[in-house]
Copies of this chain bind each other. A is one copy, B any other.
Amino acid sequence: MTTVEIPNPTKRRFVQLIQLLDNWSEQKITSSDISEITGWSTSLIRHDFWLIGFSKGVSNGYFVSELSEAIKLALGIETSESHYIEKGNVADENRFSDSNDSRSFFKNICIAGLGRLGSALLDESFFENSNFKIKAGFDSNVNRVEILRSTFPLYPANEMQFIIKQQKIEYAILTVQDKDAQNMTDRLIKTGIKGIINMTNVILKVPDNIKVENLSIINALNLVI
C-alpha cells in the first residue's frame, strides 16, 4: 500500500481524529461537530480531508466509518477492513488469531526501560483496540527483569539485538532514566528499530531515518504554563 504524503500538522490532527471517530456513537459526523470538539476550524478540517482525496458527503455530514477508514488508509494504519482487502484472501480466517505473530495487521513494539513508568506499561490491555502489540520489555537491570510480572516476556538489555530481530519488533517506547536515554537509543538504533516514543526528558540524537515522538511529561507541563 502506498501512503499519501501528508503534512505533519495534518497528520497530527488525523491521529487525534481517529480517536474521536472511534468513540463517536452516531453514524454520521459533520465538520461542525469535529470543530466544536477539537477547536479546529471547519475549513481546516475540510482542507485536511481534501488532502487525502476524501470529499464524500458534506451537506449533512460524513459517514464515520468511511471517514475513519479513509484517514487510516492515508496514514498507513492498517484496519481489519484494509488488511482484508489488501491481502485479498477470503480464506485467511486466522488473520486475527494470536497464533500468527508475523501477520502485518499488528506492529510489534517493545518497552525499553522497566522503571516505574516503563513497568506501568507492562500490560497488553493498555494497547488493546490499537494496531500495536507489545512483544518484549528490556532493562539493563537483570533483577528487575526477573522480578517484574508481565503477560509478555522481559529480557536483559544485552539480549535486545537478538530479540528485536527475532520478534520483528519495529518500534520502542523509551522509558529509561534521562541519563541512560541516549545510550539506550543508540543500542535500539543498532537493532534496526524504525521509531521511538521518547518518554524521557532528553533530546535524542538519531539518524534521519529514525522517527521520534517526544512525550516528556515535564516538557508538556512547560508548554501548558
Contact = CB atoms under 8 A, between A and B. Distances in A.
A139 to B, nearest CB: 15
A15 B222 contact: yes
B36 A205 contact: yes
Interface stretch (A56-64, A89-97, A158-166, A194-202): A194-202
Contacts of A211: 223-224
Contacts of A39: 208
A15 B225 contact: no
Given A194-B224, A205-B36, A221-B171, A214 B16 contact: yes
Interface residues of A, number: 58
Contacts of A205: 36-37
A225 B195 contact: yes
A70 interface: no
Interface string A27-51: 0000000001111000000000000
Nearest to A11: B223
A47 to B, nearest CB: 18
B222 A77 contact: yes
